[in-house]
Amino acid sequence: MIRACQLCGTKNRVPAPALARDGRCGRCKGALPALDEPIDLDEESFDELVRDARVPVLIDFWAEWCGPCRAVSPTVKATAKAMRGRALVVKVNTDQNQSLAARFGVRGIPFFVVMKDGELKTQQAGAVDSSTMKGWLEQAGA
């Protein structure tokens, strides 16, 4: 994944295992903090991140037209912030990534999946609160 340094703007390649850790910019040595916001993934980047992440990954399958998906979006963001350094939160647009949604049997959205070391730990359809999401991630080892 490419992350821009907030100090100098340099684009830094950060491998999936390091996304949940604090790092440094390769140019100015400024801080690149662990991710604390959801990452938008497509089919190309999904497998690498989920397989190689050293922390549990919460996946939010959603679509722009989905009212419940829009309603739960702030909760997903809050969960990413609260779990900074202990888990990653990703979003997958089901309209743009239909085969990925089919792989997980997504029939209704929002649909949440938690994976750890490439293995499915939890999945559930429907909107849930942040404490439920955090609970799933903690049960998976966050």
Instruction: Let me know: does 55 contact 115? Beta carbons within 8 Å.
Output: no
DSSP string for residues in 10-53: -EEE--GGGTTS-EE-TTT--EEPPP-S-EEE-HHHHHHHHHH-
Residue 44's pLDDT is what?
A: 86
Hey, what domains does the chain have and what are their CATH numbers?
A: 1-34 (no CATH), 36-139 (3.40.30.10)
Per-residue pLDDT tens over the stretch 7-36: 999 999 999 999 999 999 999 999 999 999
Answer yes or no: is pLDDT of 1 > 90: no
Answer yes or no: is pLDDT of 139 > 90: yes
Residue 108's pLDDT is what?
A: 95
- The candidate with the shortest Cα–Cα distance to 52, out of 19, 83, 79, is 19
Per-residue pLDDT tens over the stretch 62-107: 999 999 999 999 999 999 999 999 999 999 999 999 999 999 999 9
Mean pLDDT computed over 134-140:
97
Collect all residues with Cβ–Cβ distance below 8 Å to 119 and sequence separation of at least 6: none
Residue 85's pLDDT is what?
A: 95
Catalytic residues: 66, 69
